[in-house]
Amino acid sequence: MIDIENTEIFQINKYTIKQFNKSSMNITFISDTHGMHDQLQNLVGEVIVHAGDVSGRGGLTEIEDFLNWFKKLDFKYRIFIAGNHDFYFENAPASDVAQLIPEGVIYLNDSGVSIEGIKFWGSPVQPEFYNWAFNRKRGVGIKKHWDLIPAHTDILITHGPPMNILDKTTTGLHVGCEELQDAVLKIKPKIHVFGHIHEAYGWKEIQGIQFINASVLNERYALVNAPIEHSVKS
């Protein structure tokens, strides 16, 4: 386990980040909208990625409301994973979930998709904390999920952060997943995006990997953070 807490955090100018490039795939990253998705504005790019917690309590009505908004966004590809609040996705039979996902929306659950040569992988699991959705025990229980991530992954989407990377709570605790840190530093995706720890929103580059905590809400569930835009070359 390396100490990567004290590396630089990129300056985030709220709602004004422009990293887009004409010759690359332009991706907008958001996370933890908790039902407030329709307040987001100026979402642009070819791909939008949501790293989980689309709802407040994870009921079907809330999930449907999110999906109705998400499917209409002006993007070529729309990808999302569930988070610890999104109970519906863990409790409903897989066939019901499959039926619910609208055309034009890609739902990842320990699964991947290749888009125009860029390989995405998504997983909703996070270390156990009380009794939320997609909780797994730290250690071997959660490592099983990270072992599924293909060695060639360009964009890794998880709901929770890796240990010591954009994972510090307001009480000063690092609550990220140790096993996920090991996995991501080995796999070296171009981008690892997550949310979950709202107050740790931001962007860091470590060992050539762009780490993005894309939580748009703060720890009080106020929408204060900008979607994060980034370009990726295939």
**Shortest Å, Cβ 135 to Zn ion:** 14
Is 53 or 199 the residue whose CB approaches Zn ion more closely?
Answer: 53
Residues in binding contact with Zn ion, number by CB under 5 A: 2
**Shortest Å, Cβ 35 to Zn ion:** 11
Stretch that binds Zn ion, among 47-55, 90-98, 120-128, 133-141 (CB under 5 A): 47-55
Q: Is 53 in the site for Zn ion (CB under 5 A)?
A: yes
Is 25 or 197 the residue whose CB approaches Zn ion more closely?
Answer: 197
Stretch that binds Zn ion, among 3-11, 26-34, 114-122, 225-233 (CB under 5 A): 26-34
Q: Which of 58, 105, 60, 112 is nearest to 86 (CA)?
A: 58
Stretch that binds Zn ion, among 24-32, 99-107, 108-116, 133-141 (CB under 5 A): 24-32
Q: Is 32 in the site for Zn ion (CB under 5 A)?
A: yes
Q: Is 62 in the site for Zn ion (CB under 5 A)?
A: no
Is 35 or 112 the residue whose CB approaches Zn ion more closely?
Answer: 35
What DSSP state is assigned to residue 223?
B
Is 160 or 189 the residue whose CB approaches Zn ion more closely?
Answer: 160
Q: Considering Cα of 99, then 102, then 104, then 109, what sign does the dihedral take?
A: negative
Is the distance from CB of 84 to CB of 115 less than 8 angstroms? no
Is 35 or 189 the residue whose CB approaches Zn ion more closely?
Answer: 35
Coil/strand/helix, residue 219: coil
Report in angstroms the alpha-carbon separations of 53 from 63, 113, 208: 10, 20, 27
Q: Which ranges constitute the DSSP H helices of 92-194?
A: 94-100, 140-146, 178-187
**CA angle, residues 52, 53, 58, in degrees to nearest 5:** 125
Is the distance from CB of 168 to CB of 200 less than 8 angstroms? yes
**Shortest Å, Cβ 116 to Zn ion:** 30
Is the distance from CB of 76 to CB of 118 less than 8 angstroms? no
Site for Zn ion in 81-110 (CB under 5 A): none
**Shortest Å, Cβ 130 to Zn ion:** 14
The residues that touch Zn ion, with contacts defined as CB under 5 A, are 32, 53
